[in-house]
Amino acid sequence: MTPPLHGTLGIDFGTSNSAMAWADVRGTARLIPLEGTAVSMPTAVFYNSEDSTTHFGRDAVAQYLGGTEGRLMRSLKSLLGSPLLLETTVVNHQQISFQEIVATFLAALRERAAQSLGVAPTKVVMGRPVHFVDDDLERDALAQDSLLQAAQAVGFRQVSFQLEPIAAALDYERRLDSERVVLVVDLGGGTSDFTVVRLGPQRMKLANRAGDVLATTGVHIGGTDFDHKLSLEQVMPLLGYKHLGPQQREVPS
């Protein structure tokens, strides 16, 4: 029997890109390579309809750009908390839910962690935005529960969550030599989070840091939205988008 791993896998499941790190029982963490030596990869899945294979990350994008017949799925995280998550779509002549697609990507991450660690990890801490869904606590809780179910479905037995800006704050704290009050701004692909937190070398020893989080909030707007605004409102109009023809009718898209 393979001995169990003693430590915790950390997953940053991002809208645009994802990354992983392994922390041993002493708290020493190291990033896990995901594609060659790259320690992050696009959160993308490509279902190849020519040979029924599934591809991830840069490989998924390359398959799509290379003209391979199939379906490219990106920004999977933005579906969490949405009614669309349990909807099904046709992939290689089969009905599959978007929840299953999220699980498929997490399974690929766990498999790559196993390749690096020698054993598939069963304990994971997953990052999450302050708000998956703005101003809707029920849908926000549903989003985390959906991510929990996806993680459990691929073999993680102990699953916990950490707010992404708090994770960033704790990493920054390791480089401080005095106590400070810090504003953490996390601009992600699908969400933006803002946190005010008290940090310092002496506070690192505290078991419960809840009192050090002075304020936190977030909005469901991120880099993907900026890309759309830039493309649709600035670049594409230069190429004819939304222009009016001679009869003052809008040019077809």
Q: Is residue 200 part of a domain?
A: no
Average pLDDT for 45-66: 94
Total of domains in the chain? 1
pLDDT confidence bin for 178, thresholds 50/70/90 = very high
Q: What is the pLDDT of residue 180?
A: 95
The neighbour count for residue 3, using CB atoms within 10 Å, is: 7
Q: Is residue 247 part of a domain?
A: no
Q: Is residue 197 part of a domain?
A: no
Q: Is residue 143 part of a domain?
A: yes
* pLDDT greater than 70 at residue 121: yes
Q: Residue 150's domain is classified under what CATH number?
A: 3.30.420.40
Predicted TM-score of the model (pTM): 0.82
Query: Could you tell me where the DSSP H helices lie in 180-246?
Result: 223-230
Segments forming the whole domain that contains residue 29: 7-175
Q: Is residue 198 part of a domain?
A: no
Q: What is the pLDDT of residue 253?
A: 64
Q: What is the pLDDT of residue 89?
A: 86
Of 64-73, 90-99, 132-141, 148-157, where does the model show the most confidence? 148-157
Q: What is the pLDDT of residues 188-230, one digit of tens each?
A: 888 888 999 999 999 988 888 888 999 988 888 888 888 888 8
Burial 222-233 (b: 16+ CB within 10 A, else e): bbbbeeeeeeee
Q: What is the mean pLDDT of the chain?
A: 89
**Which candidate, 67, 158, 152, 161, places its Cα nearest to that of 103?**
152
Q: Is residue 193 part of a domain?
A: no
Q: Is residue 59 part of a domain?
A: yes
Residue with tokens 């991450």: 109
